Every structure is written in structure tokens, then in C-alpha cells.
Amino acid sequence: MTAMRTEPETRASSRARMPRRLVGCCLLDGGVRASPLVEESGRSVLDLNVGAERRLLDVWVDAIGALPFETDRPVVRVLHGGDVPAPGHRAEGAVRLEITPDTDSYRGPAGVLRDAMADLPGDSEFLVCEAGRYMSGGLRELLECHRDGDADVTIAREASGAPAGVLVVSRATLDHVAERGFVDLKEQWLGKIMAKGARVLVCDLPAGAALAIRTRLDLLQAARVEAGGSQVREGADLSARARLARRVQGGWAISPRARVSPTAVVARSIVMEGAVIGDDAVVSSSVVMPGAMVAPGSLVMDCVVR
């Protein structure tokens, strides 16, 4: 993990700073244009499975809940926008999950963020994350980088140099966002607070720690990582359940509440709850949505089935 300090930080290095408390996270779900995966699936990316019984939202909740917050049950506020349905809401023990609609598409990302998190105390800080990411690590290291650098904002960066879609933000910096009108995140908000002497760091995440999920192939890659490469061993018990597991070896994410025929073959695919895969069907490199049916004898490759 490396850190790069901006020039405004040097100018403000002698300023006394108030202690800040990490209190929550804002997940940005949606945008001006839906991703190809969201358009194909008709669902929030957070509602898509990356494991047999784990949605992407579950992965986020687990990753955020494991962080060292200075409050009981930190808030995870999902800021949902766009034309697809909001992700499903259910109570979580480690965090307080809230689904908040983004009703003003003309506010810009910084404006929307200010409006959504304005109720947090001024001495707090929180994570801002693109929902369409599979986080396999790096969040704790990002916080350490932020604290060690005594930063106002810390931006995560991928090994390639591209933004990783995760920031740590001091709530007080949002006071510089106008209450009305469009406010961009990078050029307007960050530029403004840096000009006023804010400390902004850039921290590199480990390679592959923040996989962007915009396409079917991205989701399948996340499911492969989530599966951890586990496979059915040769010589294992060949009960009916084990035979089915062996036949669909490499399926990566097959819900136990899906109906998959013992004569079907599922490879490198995700099959969500309530889906039905008929006799002798072959499903490869595909995502089968909840309640979808693959007819007996069908060959399904490289697609999203709804």
C-alpha cells in the first residue's frame, strides 16, 4: 500500500485537526447510465449473486461490518438511482442498512453525496463506494493510509492507476458543496477543498482488490473469486447431491433453491434462486436470473437469462 500526498496538504500541514470518528458508508448504486449488466438483468447490481447464497450486497455488508467503526451498528446507506428496482432490503446485525432513493439526477455525484449524508455529525468520516465493485480486500489498509496521513479525503487507486471506486471522506468537507445545483465530484468538489488546504491522499490497493462489475463476464469473474477455486475431489462421496455437485463443477454460484436437473450441465455460470434448468440442458458462461427457466435440451452460452 503506497500513498501520494497532494500539494495542498503540504501547505496545510501545520493546521491543528479535530479527531474524527468513522461512522458509516455510502454505497452509490446507479448513475446517469446503467451498466450493460444492469440493463441485461433488470436488477440492481447489488441484488445479483456472486455466491450460491450471497448477493453482492452481502459481500459489501460483510466487508464494511468488519471495519473498526467508532459507533455501534454503523450505517450503510445505499443511494439508489436509475430505472431498475432498488436492491432488496433486509435487517443486518453488524450494520444498519438503509436504502435511500436518489431523486434528483441534476445534483451531480458530489451534490447527491452531500444531500444523502448531511445528517452525519461534523466530526465524522465515512466510506464512499461504487456499489458495482467486488471488494476482496484493501478497505482496512485504505483506512490505515487515511489515518496515518491525517487526511480529509483518501482516494483508492487500482494497481493500473485507475480509480478503484472507493474513498474515505471527512463529513466536514461536504460543507463546501453547494446546497443546490450540479456539483461534480472530481473537478468541482475535490478541486475546491484542495484549494482551501484540505489534505487529499491517493492510496494504491492490492491488485484485484476492487473488481469493477459492469458486464456479465465481470460478474462471473467475481463469482469465481468468491468460490475460491473449491472443487469436488475425486473419490468423494457420490450421493445424489454429490453427483449433482460434480456435474455442475465449475458452476461457481448455484443457489440451493434453484432446480437443476441431474442430467443438466452447468459450467462457469451463476444460477439464482427459483431458476429451473431442465433435463439435458447445457448452461455455460451465463447468468440465470431468479425464476428464469432453461428448457430441457437447451444450449445456453454467454448470456443473461431472465
Query: CB–CB of 136/227 below 8 Å?
Result: no
Domains contained in the chain, CATH given: 3-212 (3.90.550.10), 229-305 (no CATH)
**What value does the mean pLDDT of the chain take?**
85
Does residue 92 carry a pLDDT above 80?
no
**In the prediction, which pLDDT does 14 show?**
37
* Amino acid at residue number 32: V
DSSP 34: -
Give the pLDDT confidence of 170-188 residue by residue, as tens digits. Answer: 999 999 999 889 998 888 8
Does residue 149 carry a pLDDT above 60?
yes
A 10 A CB-CB count for 31 gives: 16
pTM, rounded to two decimals: 0.85
Measured CA to CA, the distance from residue 189 to residue 242 in angstroms comes to: 55
DSSP 45: G
